[in-house]
Structure 1
């Protein structure tokens, strides 16, 4: 009997060890980031940013089903370094390659909450290469980079160990702001306090997200196929100019025809002949496309009508210049631009050499300019 009591007491002691380091925690989900410079306790905003927290938790606990084979069954962050340290700005880690280019084998979407901002030291946020390209990399602020609000997904803040951020931020760095001596994450321990926190199913949230993402991609594929079918039918009805430009009126306006040398405000969207969106001034079109991240970066997040010069000398591709000269205010026209009236034999970004293009161009009425 005494042995049984001692055994039970030992089990209770083991069960309490996880939280004995932080005995006064309120209900919530926390991450104890243990480094060779000391430990930081992060409170995770699992109710405000459930997807981002689920990603972080499933990686830390090593139960993600979506990581590359080499990471499965492993506590992902154990042994990784803070590979980028910028005093007064942030410390960044979570890259298995240690150079800012690595990921867990998948990407997931941004997740924003207006109450979560980069407005203090200790905010933890996702690092990425553009919109909706989150993986495993994160950063912790050492300053107040509020210009990152709405660009990078905040998902918690350091509530104990702010001095450790200072220690890491002040280490000597080499090229690329990489610490001379490695700052290592030995382990990240996830702590759940309270019923709601213990019910938080990180793995299920990730499963649901990727199921929805798979359905979204399938729907986008259908839309692309429909777009190509529509464009093929329209091309049969399009008018042909002497240069080889083809055009079809989609919506006819009743405004005047701009004079040569006039500036006009234009909405546009351009595709490759295979339906790949290459650029648009319309955020609604961009958001529905798989290339939104790239286009968002091109525009630095600023979408809207673009001022263009209606002139044979305008700095536009030949087909676009010719198309503008055919239009009136209020017209919306679809143009089929052969490669030699596009970018020619100069590949540019996602546009191959001699690529045929499809462009929708709309000249806004004067009252909207």
Structure 2
């Protein structure tokens, strides 16, 4: 009877540990016990398993990339929230508390189109830019911050490898203790910095598993097996992005044709997605690949807004004439080699190579044949463009 009672007490103790939050549905959770209160985050191990495996492996001391001296120890216990910004986020996970520390390794990003920094309480990876600088640091949002997403609103992927492009991997969200996040984000900081004057400490970071699937989640195994596959996973997302952009561009191209139905010329549609309304010069000479041609053009956004012209008449027509630019010789045709080496966006170059001297064309250039995911100057990422262009002469 005594042994039975002891076994029962042990069983009750284990059950109470796992059932500390009986209202939580089955899933994998992280409990942040801090000196400002407790927060609980649900971890999206079904959508971004590597990101969650990294976090759980660190929290439980089982991460395969940890130094032997750190294995078996809860990495986050005693670590501070070293950077707090009201109306933005709180950031932790740096054992040095300086913002430059890590667990001694970096790894590749993992994204899911269903996950966004679209609300308060989003748990996401901090990084130092690019795609392969994730480590132990994370942040929790106080307000929506979709500019940190790896995706644009249309679901297309950003050029995350480009400088000054923010792409952060969402891997969880707070389901309890959002008010604690708010308290932490409002603590007093050292003047001129975002570091709390008094340390905000993660006293314990506990992983809670509820349900069969969560209990079976082996963080070390998932990280070891799936982390090397992340670059390929990104390529698949990029391919999916191209499909999204192409479908949207088809609709935009149809609208372009309807809106310009009264323009004289032959409508030509190319397999790439380029659409051209070509007014051919019956006596036009076809340049040779060794030739350079002089080109005049005017660039418009899809909605008809002006952004560039080499033609003074067009600049004036769109009320964008700049006298200083005119004095500096801005309004004159530019020279380009009549071959694939021409330093033009792909859609513009394709149109040029299908024109003769004296030809005029209005062309629709889908974003992926224009300035792409990076954009350029006044042209935003993935913007569809319209160009009026003329092959003036052979230079």
Indicate whether the TM-score tops 0.5. yes
Structure 2 runs not aligned, ≥5 long: 151-166, 234-286, 300-307, 311-333, 353-362, 366-386, 388-395
Tell me if the contact between 2:61 and 2:75 (Cα under 8 Å) persists in the aligned partners: yes
Corresponding residue number in structure 2 for 1:257: 292
Partners in 2 of 1:189 and 1:53 — Cα distance?
13
CA shift digits 1:312-334 (9 cap, x unpaired): xxxxxxxxxxxx98x6133338x
Matched, 1:35 2:34: yes
The answer (yes or no) to whether the contact 1:253–1:328 under 8 Å persists in 2 is no
**Change beyond 3 A, Cα 1:117–1:210:** closer
The question of whether the paired residues in 2 share the 8 Å contact of 1:256 and 1:329 is answered with: yes
Matched, 1:185 2:202: yes
- 1:68 and 1:105 in contact (8 A); partners too: yes
In the alignment, the residues of structure 2 paired with residue 85 and residue 177 of structure 1 have an alpha-carbon distance, to the nearest angstrom, of: 5
Aligned counterparts of 2:288 and 2:226: Cα–Cα separation in 1: 43
- 331, 341, 345: which one aligns with 1:332: 341
Contact 2:80/2:97 (<8 A) preserved: yes
Match runs of 1:112-191 below 5 Å: 112-132=111-131, 133-150=133-150, 151-174=167-190, 175-191=192-208
- Which secondary structure state, in structure 2, belongs to the residue aligned with residue 176 of structure 1? coil
Is 1:40–1:162's contact at 8 Å kept on the other side of the alignment? yes
CA distance in 2, matches of 1:66, 1:141: 27
* CA separation of 1:198 and 1:119: change in aligned 2, threshold 3 A: same
Structure 2 residue 56 is the aligned partner of structure 1 residue 57: yes
Distance in 1 (alpha carbons) for counterparts of 2:112 and 2:59: 23
Per-residue Cα deviation, 1:74-133 (whole angstroms, up to 9, x for no partner): 111011100100001000000112121112122122222222111111110110011221
Residue equivalent to 1:26: 25
CA distance in structure 2 between the aligned counterparts of 1:264 and 1:109, rounded to whole angstroms: 41
Note closer, same or farther for the CA distance 1:25–1:213 as it changes in structure 2 (3 Å cut): closer
State how far apart, in whole Å, the 2-side matches of 1:253 and 1:153 are: 50
Query: Which has a greater percent of helix?
Result: 1
How has the CA–CA distance of structure 1 residues 3 and 114 changed in structure 2, closer, same or farther, with 3 Å as cutoff? same
State the partner residue of 2:224. Answer: 207
Which aligned pairs between 1:1-369 and structure 2 lie closer than 5 A? 2-132=1-131, 133-150=133-150, 151-174=167-190, 175-212=192-229, 254=289, 257-259=292-294, 328-332=337-341, 364-365=349-350, 366=352
Q: Residues 138 and 255 of structure 1: is their aligned pair in 2 closer, same or farther, counting only changes over 3 Å? A: farther
Given that 2:110 and 2:230 are in contact with CA atoms closer than 8 Å, whether structure 1 keeps it comes out as no
Q: What is the alpha-carbon distance in structure 2 between the residues aligned to residue 187 and residue 181 of structure 1? A: 18
Aligned residues: 251
Alpha-carbon offset, residue 21 of structure 1: 2.1
Is the contact between residue 253 and residue 331 of structure 1 (CA under 8 Å) also seen in structure 2? no
Q: Which runs of 5+ in 1 are unaligned?
A: 217-251, 266-306, 310-323, 334-358
TM-superposed deviation, 1:256? 5.3
RMSD: 3.2
Q: Note the alpha carbon deviations across 1:186-214, whole angstroms, 9 max, x for none.
A: 11110111111111111111111355579
TM-score between both structures, scaled by the size of structure 1? 0.61
- Using the TM superposition, give the Cα deviation of residue 63 of structure 1 relative to its aligned residue in structure 2, in angstroms: 0.7
Distance 2:120 2:227 in 1: 32
1:187–1:255 Cα change, 3 Å: farther
Equivalent-residue separation in structure 2 for 1:156 and 1:257 (angstroms) = 56
1 CA distance for matches of 2:24 and 2:112?
A: 24
